[in-house]
Chains A and B, each alone.
Chain A
Amino acid sequence: MTALNHAILALLLPLASAVVIALFLRQRGAVASWLSTGVAGAIAALSIHLLLGGERFESSVEWLRFGAFSVSLGVKYDDLAALMLFIVGFVGFLIHLFSLGYMHDDKARARFFGGLSIFMFSMIGIVLADNLFMIFIFWELVGFSSWLLINHYHEKQSAADASKKAFIVNRVGDFGFLLGIIMCYWANGTVNFTELGQDHVFSTAIPLLLFCGAMGKSAQMPLQVWLPDAMEGPTPVSALIHAATMVAAGIFMLCRINVLMVPQALEVIMWIGTITALYAALCAIVQRDIKKVLAYSTLSQLGYMVAAFGLGSIAVEHGGHQMLLAAGVGAAMFHLTTHAFFKALMFLGSGSVIHGCHHEQDIFKMGGLMKKMPVTFTTFTIGVLAIIGMPAFAGFFSKDAILYLAMTKNTAVFAILAFTAVLTSFYMVRLWKITFLGEARSDAAKHAHESGLVMTLPLVILAALSIFGGTWFFHSGIYPKLAGTVALLIPEAHGSAHTTILLVSLAVMTVGGGAALLFYKSAATDTLEEKFRFGFSVLTGLKESFDRVYNYYVAKVQQRFAMVLNFLEQIVLAGAIIRGLAGFAGLVGYGARALYTGSLHAYVYWFLLGAVLLWAYAAGIF
């Protein structure tokens, strides 16, 4: 089999799995879960095989044509796709494995694993897509699988609402995305990434419209509202879709269309990412739900990636020449990779905690889990160290790359991102301390138990990746193959800049983490709420402000507008015009009057009579 066939196989296997589960395995959850996990394992193997094979290729086939317009489906397997496919395949497989344990007692297990398979199919479609139309197709499909999986506990009203919200908010982003694709098609005559890279027109509108898609999928302001609610889904779904892969698709897509970017568009993107990073970090401080903290943290980290992308290129010395390096792409993809590892780890860790505590999610009702769940505790600690940027851990390298890029390009952004890093270590250490240290504060926490091997093994593997995932990029023989040309794009500080960045990142980590460690005590109430009631309520209000605005819009503006239009429709159109028309018909003559009085058969007879007369006349009978 050629490498192309392997890639196509990786795309179609999960589709086949979903179809088989939907048709034959609805009542057989165990078989369905093993099938889906087996397929995910096969994808992981294929992705590594393709990656190490070193072959990079492109191929496409026409799927629809009207006149000069055609839509193609194709595969573009370059280094960017190789890296992303590895993340999706490998992290996806670990999360499938974890789900075998986590979802073991769920009565709708088959639907869950079928949904995961549909998701893998859709996500791999995005990764391999060679043109914008194709990426849009799979873009919508990941939206659907996200809807399906958030809605897993569909008898809960909150889950039904959250899934609906996620889908609709994403559609709002896709409104701009689709317009951007269509505009790009007519402006350039093609939407194929390679062809666009060779030649394209200069436009600010196209990249900004395309960015709307990323704002929806990667939950950037002001479309961030759906992601915290999406935590209604089962925890493995939050790890896979709403942390590691799907929400990162927006960043991946931006890197794909990097050639179309212009400075004005990049500036907008940079600021939206920066503000999202800060806003979400502030919101994370006041959350009580373990998954909500992680959700806001994800938002914040996605903001980092978007900001990194928006910071754009830098000039570097290379062999005595000044050249432009697409450092934004490198830094964003680097952080995407390490984030996928440590955030999937922490989400699965929270899943293990929730599982162990009998579905308790309030961190103030936990405590003392360090001794009861040692594996979860150790791996979660590694995740925390990675995200707050402890030197030698994965997040340290990728966050430093972003901070260094910001320092060279824009001081204001650098300041905000550095402050966000302080907040990050503050809320992560708060979460870690309240959950794991101190005394157990509820019965659920007292009777907590460590999860089984099928759940802890993925934690251990992800923990290893959270340690070594960063250095891989720089210091191993694997890296030229793992990230290929992407790794070359990562900005690296040298000399005094290197020292500055190192000091800054150590300082922000120590200040934020130390403050949280000293400030919070192991108690059933939030120390911040007690001591700084005002600050706490400001942050809570900040978190709720967007939802308030949107709820007001939906309930008071949109729905009322619809009601008014409906009223006008019923009264004016259906009432006045139909009566007018009926009156007119009544004037026309007997036939219509007969209809008006309700005799339908009369119409039939008139029609038949007319037809017979016409025929008789034409046939020359009279």
Chain B
Amino acid sequence: MNPSNAQLLQLAIATPLGAALIIACGLPKRFSTKLAAAAFTAPLLIALWLWSQFPAENAHQYAYLSTTYTGLAAFGISLKLGLNGIALPMFLLAAIVGLAAGLYALRSGAERLKLYLVLLLVMHGGLLGVFASVDIFFFYFFHELALIPTFIMVGIWGGRDRNYAAMKLTIYLTAGAMLSLLGLIALYVKSGANSFDLIELKDAVAAQALAGHTQNWIGGLLLLGFGTLVSLWPLHTWAPLGYGAAPSSAAMLHAGVLKKFGLYGLIQIAIPLIPLGLQHWAWKLALLAGIGNVLVVGFVTMAQRDLKQMLGYSSVMHMGYCFLGIAALSTIGTGGVVLLMVAHGLSVALLFLLATSIHHRTHTFDLSEMGGLAQKTPVLAAFFVAATMAGIGLPGFANFWGELTVFVALWKFSHALTAVAVAGVIISAVYGLRAAARVFFGPASEQLQRVTAQHPPADLDWKEKLPALILLAALLLFGFYPKAISQPVDQALNPAPVTLTAPAR
């Protein structure tokens, strides 16, 4: 336990927040962009370093622990930071997507760029904080810190329907967050640990588990709250609308990283603390996720004509796999979900980025008006195809491993739901390939010919290519070498495996 590494972890979170503060205080624009670029980059460098230094054994314990007293000791709250085997890949995900979103924003030419950067930096800091928090109060606090800038960014820089989208987003996500906060507070009260510290909570539960019915209602509260935040069917309708309206960098960070907060909470907090409560709800959760998220939303995705809406719905669909993996309540399932969270975060961020790049060239998100763009922009087409293939689970990209392990785990839970989930793979191939074909292949559409006559489209330039390359490289790295993630996750899960078997059917 190297003290300097613990300080580095603190630094990783403080850098974007500090930079946001400095820029907000009136730093001139030319310094602001440089500072922001540095503040987006530093956390990734630190995260990579911490990843390389992560102890090979005992990944279930937290490394890089540090505690800062905040004056909230009376409530058992302190700013306790650290990473275990599950938090580490998520922290890395936040750092990677944060850098990509930041780089894309820096060159996006948005109006009021400084405010945009400030909000994005706050969001980035909050996201890093979420996954580094050992204290579940701060886990929640950092989530709010990242969430509020999202609302504002949608409200100011959003596209079509931005006011309605921002309102809906706010209501749903606030309600979801409140419910999950209630659940977290209930854990604090009922566990008797008198602390929000997850390590102490786990010890308290290990000494005396919570009563079955208590676990059940806390589990219900957490699933409802987290479920809303992760777009569990039928509480998902904020997602496609919100992502459709959100500016690209905000959509990248929210869909890619912030949305995983709920799943991460279920894995890191609910599974160890209230396993019986989750078991109580497992079948209901699995049915909602399997039939609702995968099948119904899968078909709804097929019917979308707007590229961004389609990406939003497909992201809702893929969250269904994550819930199914959690419902399986096994090491394999949970591990698969962590893999899938990282993979989906990278691929969906890449898709949102590329969707915006397509819009710059076609001036529309309407799929029926596009066609034949690949002739003008082959590199953009190659990136989009790669991202689509990642999204539909082609081996070689990280998503494949996540989906495969979730399917394997799910078979032990229910054969029928496994078949439903695997059928989802066909559905995603249908809409994914259809979108790629509509945008890029076939003869050029009239609309495209008209637009390109006025603005000859250039292929992907470096300011778009660099963030896209970062995301794609990460997808391929984890796709070719999944052990980079699976090893710490496996170690984190295995010392205290979820010993429950699936309920008898």
* A binding-site residues for B, Cβ under 8 Å: 22, 26, 63-69, 71, 111, 133, 136-138, 140-141, 144, 147, 151, 154-157, 159-161, 163-164, 167-168, 171-172, 174-175, 178-179, 182-183, 185-186, 558-559, 561-563, 565-566, 569, 573-574, 577-578, 581-582, 585, 592, 595-596, 598, 600-601, 603-604, 607, 611, 614-615, 618-620
Q: Give Cα distance in the complex from A574 to B297, angstroms.
A: 13
Q: Give Cα distance in the complex from A615 to B167, angstroms.
A: 28
* B443 in contact with A157 (CB, 8 Å): yes
* A66 in contact with B405 (CB, 8 Å): yes
14 contacts between A and B (CB under 8 A): A64-B405, A65-B486, A69-B331, A69-B409, A71-B401, A141-B395, A154-B441, A164-B433, A174-B425, A183-B411, A186-B412, A600-B166, A618-B75, A620-B74
Is B48 among interface residues, defined by CB-CB distance under 8 A? no
Is B197 among interface residues, defined by CB-CB distance under 8 A? no
Is B299 among interface residues, defined by CB-CB distance under 8 A? yes
* A595 in contact with B482 (CB, 8 Å): no
Q: Give Cα distance in the complex from A611 to B77, angstroms.
A: 13
* B167 in contact with A598 (CB, 8 Å): yes
* B422 in contact with A585 (CB, 8 Å): no
**Interface-central residue, A137, A156, A565, A607, by most chain B CB under 10 Å:** A565
User: Chain B residues near A585 (CB, 8 Å)?
Assistant: 171, 175
Question: Which 8 A-B residue pairs are closest in the complex by CB-CB distance?
Answer: A67-B331, A66-B335, A160-B441, A566-B303, A619-B71, A562-B303, A137-B395, A562-B302
Is B342 among interface residues, defined by CB-CB distance under 8 A? no
Is B116 among interface residues, defined by CB-CB distance under 8 A? no
* B493 in contact with A563 (CB, 8 Å): no
* A182 in contact with B486 (CB, 8 Å): no
User: Chain B residues near A156 (CB, 8 Å)?
Assistant: 442-443
Q: A64-B486, A581-B175, A604-B152 are in contact. Are A562 and B299 (CB under 8 A)?
A: yes
* A559 in contact with B302 (CB, 8 Å): yes
Q: A64-B401, A164-B433, A603-B174 are in contact. Are A619 and B426 (CB under 8 A)?
A: no
User: Chain B residues near A603 (CB, 8 Å)?
Assistant: 148, 151, 170, 174
* A141 in contact with B394 (CB, 8 Å): yes
Fill in one digit per residue for B233-263: 1 if any A CB lies within 8 Å of its CB, else 0: 0100100010000000000000000000000
The chain A residue sitting closest to B429, CB to CB, is A171
* A175 in contact with B429 (CB, 8 Å): no
The chain A residue sitting closest to B385, CB to CB, is A148
Q: A157-B442, A175-B423, A185-B408 are in contact. Are A66 and B437 (CB under 8 A)?
A: no
* B401 in contact with A168 (CB, 8 Å): no
User: Chain A residues near B400 (CB, 8 Å)?
Assistant: 137, 140
The chain B residue sitting closest to A186, CB to CB, is B411
**Interface-central residue, B144, B331, B422, B440, by most chain A CB under 10 Å:** B422
Q: Give Cα distance in the complex from A382 to B490, angstroms.
A: 58
Is B34 among interface residues, defined by CB-CB distance under 8 A? no
User: Chain B residues near A137 (CB, 8 Å)?
Assistant: 395, 400
Q: Give Cα distance in the complex from A578 to B240, angstroms.
A: 14
* A168 in contact with B394 (CB, 8 Å): no
User: Chain A residues near B374 (CB, 8 Å)?
Assistant: 154-155
* A69 in contact with B405 (CB, 8 Å): yes
Is B404 among interface residues, defined by CB-CB distance under 8 A? yes
Q: Give Cα distance in the complex from A397 to B272, angstroms.
A: 65
The chain B residue sitting closest to A177, CB to CB, is B422
Q: CB within 8 Å of A: which of B392-406?
A: 394-396, 400-401, 404-405
* B408 in contact with A69 (CB, 8 Å): yes
Nearest-Cβ distance from residue B133 to partner chain A, whole angstroms: 15
The chain A residue sitting closest to B489, CB to CB, is A66
* A67 in contact with B330 (CB, 8 Å): yes
Is B494 among interface residues, defined by CB-CB distance under 8 A? yes
User: Chain A residues near B407 (CB, 8 Å)?
Assistant: 178, 182
User: Chain B residues near A618 (CB, 8 Å)?
Assistant: 71-75, 77
